A and B are shown apart, each in its own frame.
Chain A
Amino acid sequence: MSADQILDEVFVAQKTEMIDEAPSLYIEGTDVQYAWDSTSLGDFKRCPRFYQLHRKEGWTAKSESVDLRFGSEYHQALQEYDCSLANGVKHEDAIHDVIRELLIRTEDFRPDPDTRAGKYKSRRNLVQLTVDYLDFFGPNDPAKTAMLESGRPAVELSFRFELDWGPSAGNRPYILCGHIDRIVEFNDQLLATDRKTTTRTLGPYFFKQFEPNNQMTLYTLAGQIITGTPIKGVMIDAAQVLLEEPNRFVRGLTYRSPEQLEEWLNDLKITLKQAEACAEEGYWPMNDTACDKYGGCPFREVCSKSPSVRGMYLKSDFVQLPTEDRWNPLKPR
């Protein structure tokens, strides 16, 4: 079965370029999440308890807020550059505007330099990384931003589309949603793109994490829906943040065949059934084989305690975000 056939059969495609409101991602009166993006889906696959604590209840380590802010400002800066360039602005002018806006937005961003996160992901390093990336890839990037049918450059693409099945609770289909940085033409093929920042070494081991990978498979599918063309995969621009040497940038490609996309969708049905079952039970089991993965789960210390005292440890080591600040993939960017 081709990717086009899968999409025709599985999706009621709703190409949405701009999203104006952020409704709840749960079915009213339940804990059943109906709108899923790669982040929340990945968290549930990783460990239902992690999903419960982090995404659903909003417990967040202080250092994570630094990583998140750094990543999100970096993404936004590069997207603004992509937009400017696609609209004919010259490299030096675009970089000037991007850095000015970045400095204005991050006026309040002063992470504690005595923490690892604050040391690497400081405001100073954010500006340095942005300038470095744009000088490295910007003016002579062989990957060119694709144009959508509407004539708009394919950057800052928020997507939201319905599946043709939904949870048994409520009367609505599941929605897959997210945000793709841009779609590019590269070596005569169309690819979705994503940017990653890391303090880890950028070698084959780093790129292996994307095959297989929940986010990259969803982005390939979403890219196909947004453009109406068979996007082959995702181009990943990874940046290694360094303190004394120049920041490093490596570009990797990951491809998905139609059979892989079909398999992912079939697996998704099972995963979402499991998520619904957890929500109905009000219980998200621990995956105790994942605690040492992903650089070590931030909740490991909490989960290692007896259940009756975990709440105390959560409150001492984490902050709980208010409901409106918790992860919501339907929130517009």
Chain B
Amino acid sequence: MSDIDELMDRNALEMAPRDIDRIIQLNREAREARAKGIKPVKTSGPKIDLSTLVKALVKDKKPASTPSAGIGRRGL
């Protein structure tokens, strides 16, 4: 969930003026980002343990001699 989604999910009646200003600002930033072709960045949500991710990538790495998917699909 992005910052703006998280902020907008809060009860609007309980929002402070600075929250509203922040939502407006984030919308403006989102517009600028869209204009530059940047997709929204998720800044919150479940944390990923980078060391586990690296280990997983190393484990899944195929040996250099593995035939490419293209050759495999041709049935060689």
A132 and B27 in contact, given A244-B34, A244-B39, A246-B35 (Cβ under 8 angstroms): yes
Chain A contacts with B in 68-98, Cβ cutoff 8 A: 95-96
A100 and B34 in contact, given A124-B8, A128-B27, A131-B28 (Cβ under 8 angstroms): no
**Stretch touching chain A among B9-17, B42-50, B57-65, B66-74:** B9-17
CA separation between A247 and B35, bound complex, in Å?
9
Q: Is there an interface contact between A104 and B34, defined as CB atoms closer than 8 Å?
A: no
Q: Is there an interface contact between B34 and A99, defined as CB atoms closer than 8 Å?
A: no
Closest Cβ of chain B: how far from A225's Cβ, in Å?
A: 38
Chain A residues near B17: list those with CB within 8 A.
96
Q: Is there an interface contact between A103 and B39, defined as CB atoms closer than 8 Å?
A: no
Chain A residues near B15: list those with CB within 8 A.
100, 103
Chain A residues near B5: list those with CB within 8 A.
124
Chain B contacts with A in 24-57, Cβ cutoff 8 A: 24, 27-28, 30-31, 34-35, 37, 39
A246 and B13 in contact, given A96-B24, A99-B24, A100-B20 (Cβ under 8 angstroms): no
Chain A residues near B30: list those with CB within 8 A.
128
CA separation between A123 and B12, bound complex, in Å?
13
Chain B residues near A107: list those with CB within 8 A.
11-13
Chain B residues near A99: list those with CB within 8 A.
20, 23-24
Query: Considering only CB atoms, which chain B residue lies closest to A107 in the complex?
Result: B12
Q: Is there an interface contact between A104 and B13, defined as CB atoms closer than 8 Å?
A: yes
A280 adjacent to chain B (CB < 8 Å): no
Q: Report the count of interface residues on B (CB-CB < 8 A).
A: 20
Q: Which single member of A100, A104, A124, A132 contacts B4 (CB below 8 Å)? A: A124
Interface of A is mostly: helix
CA separation between A291 and B51, bound complex, in Å?
59
Chain B residues near A100: list those with CB within 8 A.
12, 15, 20
Closest Cβ of chain B: how far from A171's Cβ, in Å?
A: 49
Chain B residues near A242: list those with CB within 8 A.
34
A127 adjacent to chain B (CB < 8 Å): yes
Chain A residues near B28: list those with CB within 8 A.
131, 135
Q: Is there an interface contact between A246 and B31, defined as CB atoms closer than 8 Å?
A: yes
Query: Considering only CB atoms, which chain B residue lies closest to A100 in the complex?
Result: B20
CA separation between A127 and B28, bound complex, in Å?
11
CA separation between A95 and B13, bound complex, in Å?
17
Q: Is there an interface contact between A104 and B12, defined as CB atoms closer than 8 Å?
A: yes
A281 adjacent to chain B (CB < 8 Å): no
Chain A contacts with B in 228-267, Cβ cutoff 8 A: 242, 244-247
The 10 closest A-B pairs by CB, nearest first: A103-B12, A131-B27, A104-B12, A246-B34, A100-B20, A246-B35, A246-B31, A128-B27, A96-B20, A245-B34
User: 7 pairs across A/B with beta carbons < 8 Å?
Assistant: A96-B17, A99-B23, A100-B12, A103-B15, A128-B30, A246-B34, A247-B31
Give B residues with C-beta under 8 Å from A: 4-5, 8, 11-13, 15, 17, 20-21, 23-24, 27-28, 30-31, 34-35, 37, 39
